[in-house]
Amino acid sequence: TAAIIDGKSIAGEIMSRIACEVWRMKESIGRVPGLAVIMVGQRRDSQTYVRNKIKACEETGIKSSMTELHGNCKEDEVVNVLSRFNADPSIHGILLQLPLPQHLDEEKILDVMSLEKDVDGFHPLNIGNLAMRGRQPLFIPCTPKGCIELLMRSGVEIMGKKAVVIGRSNIVGLPTSLLLQRHHATVSIVHAFTKNPEQITCEADIVVTAAGVPNLVRGNWLKPGAVVIDVGTNPIEDPSCEFGYRLTGDVCYEEAVRVASAVTPVPGGVGPMTIAMLLSNTLDSAKRAYDFT
Ligand code: NAD
Protein backbone atom coordinates (compact mmCIF):
# COMPACT_ATOMS: atom_id res chain seq x y z
CA THR A 1 0.00 0.00 0.00
CA ALA A 2 0.95 3.62 -0.56
CA ALA A 3 3.04 5.69 1.81
CA ILE A 4 1.03 8.43 3.47
CA ILE A 5 2.54 11.88 2.91
CA ASP A 6 2.10 13.53 6.29
CA GLY A 7 1.48 17.17 5.44
CA LYS A 8 0.68 18.04 9.01
CA SER A 9 4.05 16.98 10.35
CA ILE A 10 6.00 18.41 7.39
CA ALA A 11 4.16 21.72 7.88
CA GLY A 12 5.01 21.53 11.58
CA GLU A 13 8.72 21.29 10.79
CA ILE A 14 8.50 24.27 8.45
CA MET A 15 6.63 26.29 11.07
CA SER A 16 9.31 25.57 13.69
CA ARG A 17 11.96 26.84 11.31
CA ILE A 18 9.89 29.97 10.63
CA ALA A 19 9.45 30.55 14.38
CA CYS A 20 13.25 30.43 14.79
CA GLU A 21 13.75 32.90 11.99
CA VAL A 22 11.12 35.29 13.38
CA TRP A 23 12.84 35.12 16.75
CA ARG A 24 16.25 35.77 15.17
CA MET A 25 14.83 38.78 13.34
CA LYS A 26 13.30 40.17 16.52
CA GLU A 27 16.55 39.71 18.44
CA SER A 28 18.73 41.39 15.85
CA ILE A 29 16.61 44.24 14.43
CA GLY A 30 13.70 44.44 16.87
CA ARG A 31 11.09 43.83 14.18
CA VAL A 32 8.74 40.95 13.36
CA PRO A 33 6.89 40.11 10.14
CA GLY A 34 3.30 41.40 9.96
CA LEU A 35 0.38 39.83 8.10
CA ALA A 36 -2.92 41.64 7.49
CA VAL A 37 -5.93 39.47 6.79
CA ILE A 38 -9.04 40.94 5.16
CA MET A 39 -12.27 39.02 5.12
CA VAL A 40 -15.42 40.21 3.40
CA GLY A 41 -18.66 38.54 4.44
CA GLN A 42 -19.17 35.54 6.66
CA ARG A 43 -18.60 32.38 4.63
CA ARG A 44 -18.20 29.55 7.10
CA ASP A 45 -15.32 27.90 5.23
CA SER A 46 -13.48 31.25 4.87
CA GLN A 47 -13.91 31.88 8.60
CA THR A 48 -12.29 28.53 9.38
CA TYR A 49 -9.37 29.15 6.99
CA VAL A 50 -8.79 32.65 8.39
CA ARG A 51 -8.93 31.43 11.98
CA ASN A 52 -6.32 28.76 11.20
CA LYS A 53 -4.06 31.29 9.50
CA ILE A 54 -4.20 33.71 12.44
CA LYS A 55 -3.55 30.89 14.90
CA ALA A 56 -0.52 29.83 12.86
CA CYS A 57 0.81 33.41 12.96
CA GLU A 58 0.54 33.38 16.75
CA GLU A 59 2.42 30.09 16.92
CA THR A 60 5.37 31.47 14.98
CA GLY A 61 5.52 34.98 16.42
CA ILE A 62 4.30 36.69 13.25
CA LYS A 63 2.13 39.71 14.06
CA SER A 64 -1.32 39.42 12.51
CA SER A 65 -4.17 41.85 12.13
CA MET A 66 -7.67 40.97 11.05
CA THR A 67 -10.16 43.23 9.27
CA GLU A 68 -13.71 42.01 8.78
CA LEU A 69 -15.91 43.83 6.31
CA HIS A 70 -19.64 43.44 5.90
CA GLY A 71 -20.78 41.06 3.14
CA ASN A 72 -22.52 43.85 1.24
CA CYS A 73 -19.83 46.51 1.61
CA LYS A 74 -18.81 48.64 -1.37
CA GLU A 75 -15.76 48.05 -3.53
CA ASP A 76 -14.29 51.34 -2.29
CA GLU A 77 -14.27 50.10 1.29
CA VAL A 78 -12.22 47.03 0.40
CA VAL A 79 -9.88 49.14 -1.71
CA ASN A 80 -9.44 51.62 1.16
CA VAL A 81 -8.52 48.92 3.64
CA LEU A 82 -6.11 47.42 1.11
CA SER A 83 -4.50 50.80 0.44
CA ARG A 84 -4.05 51.41 4.14
CA PHE A 85 -2.14 48.14 4.52
CA ASN A 86 -0.19 48.81 1.31
CA ALA A 87 1.15 51.94 3.00
CA ASP A 88 1.77 50.42 6.46
CA PRO A 89 5.49 49.58 6.85
CA SER A 90 4.80 47.12 9.70
CA ILE A 91 2.70 44.96 7.34
CA HIS A 92 4.65 42.71 4.96
CA GLY A 93 1.88 40.49 3.72
CA ILE A 94 -1.75 41.17 2.83
CA LEU A 95 -4.20 38.37 2.49
CA LEU A 96 -7.57 39.05 0.92
CA GLN A 97 -9.57 35.93 1.68
CA LEU A 98 -11.26 34.70 -1.51
CA PRO A 99 -13.84 34.24 -2.84
CA LEU A 100 -15.29 37.71 -2.44
CA PRO A 101 -19.08 38.24 -2.50
CA GLN A 102 -20.48 38.23 -6.06
CA HIS A 103 -21.04 42.01 -6.31
CA LEU A 104 -17.34 42.81 -5.85
CA ASP A 105 -14.90 42.78 -8.75
CA GLU A 106 -12.16 40.45 -7.53
CA GLU A 107 -9.83 41.29 -10.43
CA LYS A 108 -10.07 45.02 -9.93
CA ILE A 109 -9.46 44.75 -6.19
CA LEU A 110 -6.50 42.36 -6.55
CA ASP A 111 -4.89 44.86 -8.93
CA VAL A 112 -4.71 47.36 -6.05
CA MET A 113 -2.65 45.03 -3.85
CA SER A 114 0.98 46.03 -3.54
CA LEU A 115 3.09 43.52 -5.45
CA GLU A 116 5.61 43.47 -2.58
CA LYS A 117 2.91 42.37 -0.12
CA ASP A 118 1.04 39.88 -2.29
CA VAL A 119 1.93 36.86 -0.13
CA ASP A 120 -0.82 34.79 -1.77
CA GLY A 121 0.90 35.35 -5.12
CA PHE A 122 -2.38 36.09 -6.94
CA HIS A 123 -1.40 39.44 -8.47
CA PRO A 124 -1.31 39.07 -12.28
CA LEU A 125 2.33 40.19 -12.36
CA ASN A 126 3.32 37.48 -9.91
CA ILE A 127 1.48 34.83 -11.95
CA GLY A 128 2.95 36.25 -15.17
CA ASN A 129 6.47 36.08 -13.79
CA LEU A 130 5.80 32.53 -12.62
CA ALA A 131 4.79 31.60 -16.15
CA MET A 132 7.77 33.15 -17.96
CA ARG A 133 11.10 31.42 -18.20
CA GLY A 134 13.99 33.34 -16.70
CA ARG A 135 11.75 35.49 -14.53
CA GLN A 136 11.26 35.18 -10.79
CA PRO A 137 7.92 35.93 -9.13
CA LEU A 138 8.18 37.74 -5.79
CA PHE A 139 5.74 35.20 -4.34
CA ILE A 140 4.60 31.77 -5.39
CA PRO A 141 0.94 30.96 -4.55
CA CYS A 142 0.78 29.06 -1.25
CA THR A 143 -1.17 25.92 -2.13
CA PRO A 144 0.84 25.15 -5.31
CA LYS A 145 4.09 25.86 -3.45
CA GLY A 146 2.92 23.55 -0.67
CA CYS A 147 2.27 20.75 -3.19
CA ILE A 148 5.80 21.02 -4.59
CA GLU A 149 7.30 21.11 -1.07
CA LEU A 150 5.42 17.92 -0.23
CA LEU A 151 6.82 16.22 -3.32
CA MET A 152 10.38 17.39 -2.70
CA ARG A 153 10.40 16.60 1.00
CA SER A 154 9.03 13.13 0.24
CA GLY A 155 11.95 12.50 -2.07
CA VAL A 156 9.85 12.47 -5.26
CA GLU A 157 11.81 13.46 -8.34
CA ILE A 158 9.90 15.90 -10.55
CA MET A 159 12.35 16.52 -13.40
CA GLY A 160 11.42 14.60 -16.54
CA LYS A 161 8.34 13.05 -14.94
CA LYS A 162 4.85 13.08 -16.42
CA ALA A 163 2.55 15.14 -14.23
CA VAL A 164 -1.19 15.67 -14.53
CA VAL A 165 -2.92 18.56 -12.79
CA ILE A 166 -6.69 18.20 -12.48
CA GLY A 167 -8.28 21.67 -12.34
CA ARG A 168 -7.09 24.96 -13.83
CA SER A 169 -8.25 27.65 -11.40
CA ASN A 170 -6.16 30.80 -11.03
CA ILE A 171 -5.43 30.01 -7.40
CA VAL A 172 -4.56 26.31 -7.53
CA GLY A 173 -4.61 24.39 -10.82
CA LEU A 174 -3.00 26.94 -13.14
CA PRO A 175 -0.09 28.00 -10.89
CA THR A 176 0.53 24.36 -9.90
CA SER A 177 0.92 23.41 -13.56
CA LEU A 178 3.31 26.34 -14.09
CA LEU A 179 5.34 25.41 -11.04
CA LEU A 180 5.63 21.76 -12.07
CA GLN A 181 6.94 22.95 -15.46
CA ARG A 182 9.50 25.12 -13.67
CA HIS A 183 10.65 21.91 -12.02
CA HIS A 184 10.95 20.34 -15.49
CA ALA A 185 7.98 17.98 -15.40
CA THR A 186 5.97 17.31 -18.57
CA VAL A 187 2.58 18.64 -17.58
CA SER A 188 -0.93 17.88 -18.81
CA ILE A 189 -3.96 19.73 -17.52
CA VAL A 190 -7.30 18.03 -17.06
CA HIS A 191 -10.39 20.19 -16.55
CA ALA A 192 -14.15 20.02 -16.68
CA PHE A 193 -14.21 19.86 -20.51
CA THR A 194 -11.51 17.21 -20.85
CA LYS A 195 -12.64 14.06 -22.62
CA ASN A 196 -11.48 10.75 -21.11
CA PRO A 197 -9.70 12.33 -18.15
CA GLU A 198 -8.93 8.89 -16.72
CA GLN A 199 -6.87 7.97 -19.79
CA ILE A 200 -4.70 11.06 -19.43
CA THR A 201 -4.38 10.75 -15.66
CA CYS A 202 -3.44 7.09 -16.00
CA GLU A 203 -0.14 8.02 -17.67
CA ALA A 204 1.04 10.33 -14.92
CA ASP A 205 3.84 9.67 -12.46
CA ILE A 206 2.57 12.61 -10.41
CA VAL A 207 -1.10 13.55 -10.07
CA VAL A 208 -2.22 16.77 -8.40
CA THR A 209 -5.98 17.13 -8.11
CA ALA A 210 -7.78 20.40 -7.41
CA ALA A 211 -11.23 19.95 -8.91
CA GLY A 212 -13.43 20.18 -5.83
CA VAL A 213 -15.26 16.96 -6.75
CA PRO A 214 -15.33 14.21 -4.11
CA ASN A 215 -14.24 10.74 -5.31
CA LEU A 216 -13.46 12.02 -8.81
CA VAL A 217 -10.17 10.15 -9.06
CA ARG A 218 -10.71 6.42 -8.74
CA GLY A 219 -8.07 3.74 -8.35
CA ASN A 220 -8.29 2.86 -12.04
CA TRP A 221 -7.38 6.46 -12.99
CA LEU A 222 -3.93 5.95 -11.52
CA LYS A 223 -0.76 4.43 -12.88
CA PRO A 224 0.63 1.88 -10.43
CA GLY A 225 3.26 3.62 -8.32
CA ALA A 226 2.01 7.15 -9.05
CA VAL A 227 2.36 9.87 -6.42
CA VAL A 228 -0.95 11.58 -5.65
CA ILE A 229 -1.36 15.04 -4.13
CA ASP A 230 -4.98 15.70 -3.24
CA VAL A 231 -5.76 19.42 -2.91
CA GLY A 232 -9.53 18.90 -2.86
CA THR A 233 -11.20 19.98 0.36
CA ASN A 234 -14.84 19.08 0.03
CA PRO A 235 -17.37 19.19 2.86
CA ILE A 236 -19.55 16.08 3.06
CA GLU A 237 -22.59 16.12 5.34
CA ASP A 238 -22.08 13.87 8.31
CA PRO A 239 -24.27 14.35 11.39
CA SER A 240 -21.85 12.29 13.49
CA CYS A 241 -19.13 14.95 13.07
CA GLU A 242 -18.62 17.99 15.26
CA PHE A 243 -19.85 20.63 12.77
CA GLY A 244 -22.24 18.30 10.94
CA TYR A 245 -19.82 17.71 8.08
CA ARG A 246 -16.43 16.17 7.41
CA LEU A 247 -13.85 16.96 4.76
CA THR A 248 -12.93 14.73 1.87
CA GLY A 249 -10.57 15.16 -1.06
CA ASP A 250 -11.02 14.63 -4.81
CA VAL A 251 -9.41 11.22 -4.64
CA CYS A 252 -11.10 7.98 -3.66
CA TYR A 253 -8.57 7.41 -0.91
CA GLU A 254 -9.28 3.72 -0.17
CA GLU A 255 -8.73 2.83 -3.83
CA ALA A 256 -5.76 5.13 -4.35
CA VAL A 257 -3.72 3.68 -1.48
CA ARG A 258 -3.83 0.30 -3.22
CA VAL A 259 -2.42 1.61 -6.51
CA ALA A 260 -0.28 4.67 -5.76
CA SER A 261 3.16 4.70 -4.16
CA ALA A 262 2.36 7.76 -2.04
CA VAL A 263 -0.81 9.73 -1.27
CA THR A 264 -1.69 12.82 0.76
CA PRO A 265 -4.60 12.46 3.19
CA VAL A 266 -7.48 14.94 3.50
CA PRO A 267 -7.42 16.52 6.01
CA GLY A 268 -3.78 16.59 7.05
CA GLY A 269 -2.12 16.76 3.63
CA VAL A 270 -2.06 19.93 1.55
CA GLY A 271 -4.14 22.09 3.92
CA PRO A 272 -1.50 22.57 6.63
CA MET A 273 1.14 23.14 3.95
CA THR A 274 -0.84 26.02 2.47
CA ILE A 275 -0.71 27.80 5.81
CA ALA A 276 2.99 27.06 6.32
CA MET A 277 3.75 28.53 2.86
CA LEU A 278 1.73 31.65 3.65
CA LEU A 279 3.86 32.25 6.74
CA SER A 280 7.01 31.46 4.80
CA ASN A 281 6.06 34.03 2.14
CA THR A 282 5.30 36.60 4.86
CA LEU A 283 8.68 35.99 6.50
CA ASP A 284 10.45 36.30 3.14
CA SER A 285 8.62 39.55 2.49
CA ALA A 286 9.65 41.02 5.85
CA LYS A 287 13.26 39.94 5.29
CA ARG A 288 13.17 41.70 1.91
CA ALA A 289 11.63 44.85 3.39
CA TYR A 290 14.24 45.09 6.17
CA ASP A 291 17.07 43.80 4.01
CA PHE A 292 17.60 41.11 6.65
CA THR A 293 19.35 37.87 5.72
P1 NAD B 1 -12.40 26.00 -8.72
O2 NAD B 1 -13.83 25.58 -8.60
O3 NAD B 1 -12.04 27.41 -8.92
O4 NAD B 1 -11.74 25.17 -9.90
C5 NAD B 1 -12.02 23.83 -10.11
C6 NAD B 1 -11.33 23.35 -11.37
O7 NAD B 1 -11.58 21.96 -11.51
C8 NAD B 1 -11.82 24.02 -12.65
O9 NAD B 1 -10.70 24.38 -13.43
C10 NAD B 1 -12.64 22.94 -13.36
O11 NAD B 1 -12.48 22.97 -14.77
C12 NAD B 1 -12.06 21.66 -12.81
N13 NAD B 1 -13.07 20.61 -12.69
C14 NAD B 1 -14.30 20.70 -12.13
N15 NAD B 1 -14.95 19.54 -12.23
C16 NAD B 1 -14.13 18.69 -12.89
C17 NAD B 1 -14.25 17.36 -13.32
N18 NAD B 1 -15.36 16.65 -13.09
N19 NAD B 1 -13.21 16.80 -13.96
C20 NAD B 1 -12.08 17.51 -14.19
N21 NAD B 1 -11.91 18.78 -13.80
C22 NAD B 1 -12.93 19.37 -13.17
O23 NAD B 1 -11.72 25.40 -7.40
P24 NAD B 1 -10.33 25.77 -6.68
O25 NAD B 1 -10.47 27.04 -5.97
O26 NAD B 1 -9.19 25.56 -7.60
O27 NAD B 1 -10.32 24.61 -5.59
C28 NAD B 1 -10.31 23.25 -5.95
C29 NAD B 1 -10.40 22.38 -4.71
O30 NAD B 1 -9.26 22.60 -3.90
C31 NAD B 1 -11.60 22.66 -3.81
O32 NAD B 1 -12.03 21.45 -3.23
C33 NAD B 1 -11.02 23.58 -2.76
O34 NAD B 1 -11.75 23.52 -1.54
C35 NAD B 1 -9.66 23.01 -2.60
N36 NAD B 1 -8.64 23.95 -2.08
C37 NAD B 1 -7.85 23.50 -1.08
C38 NAD B 1 -6.84 24.30 -0.59
C39 NAD B 1 -5.97 23.78 0.50
O40 NAD B 1 -5.20 24.53 1.07
N41 NAD B 1 -5.99 22.49 0.80
C42 NAD B 1 -6.63 25.59 -1.12
C43 NAD B 1 -7.45 26.02 -2.16
C44 NAD B 1 -8.45 25.17 -2.64
What's the pLDDT tens digit per position in 55-83? Answer: 999 999 999 999 999 999 999 999 999 99
Residues 253, 211 within the same domain: yes
Q: Whose CA is nearest to atom 1 of ligand 1?
A: 169
For residue 195, give the CATH number of its domain: 3.40.50.720
Ligand 1 site-directed mutation target among 97, 98, 122, 191, most atoms within 8 Å of CB? 191
Q: Is residue 247 part of a domain?
A: yes
Question: Angle, nearest 10°, between helix axes 44-60 and 270-290?
Answer: 50
Identify whether 53 is a catalytic site residue. yes
Domain range for 207 is 142-271
pLDDT of residue 242: 86
Q: Is residue 113 part of a domain?
A: yes
Split at pLDDT 50, 70, 90, the class of 191 is: very high
Residues 161, 263 within the same domain: yes
Average pLDDT over residues 184-196: 98
Identify whether 45 is a catalytic site residue. no
Contact in structure between 181 and 189 (CB atoms under 8 Å): no
Residues 155, 233 within the same domain: yes
% the chain with pLDDT above 90:
97
3-class DSSP assignment, residue 227: strand
pLDDT of residue 249: 98
ipTM score for this prediction:
0.99
For residue 62, give the CATH number of its domain: 3.40.50.10860
Contacts with 220 (C-beta within 8 Å, 6 or more apart), sequence order = 198, 202, 255, 259
Contacts with 236 (C-beta within 8 Å, 6 or more apart), sequence order = 214, 245, 246, 247, 248
Identify whether 102 is a catalytic site residue. no
Indicate the average pLDDT of the chain: 97
Quote the number of domains for the chain: 2
Q: Which amino acid is at 141?
A: P
Distance between Cα 86 and ligand 1 center (Å): 30
Q: Is residue 24 part of a domain?
A: no
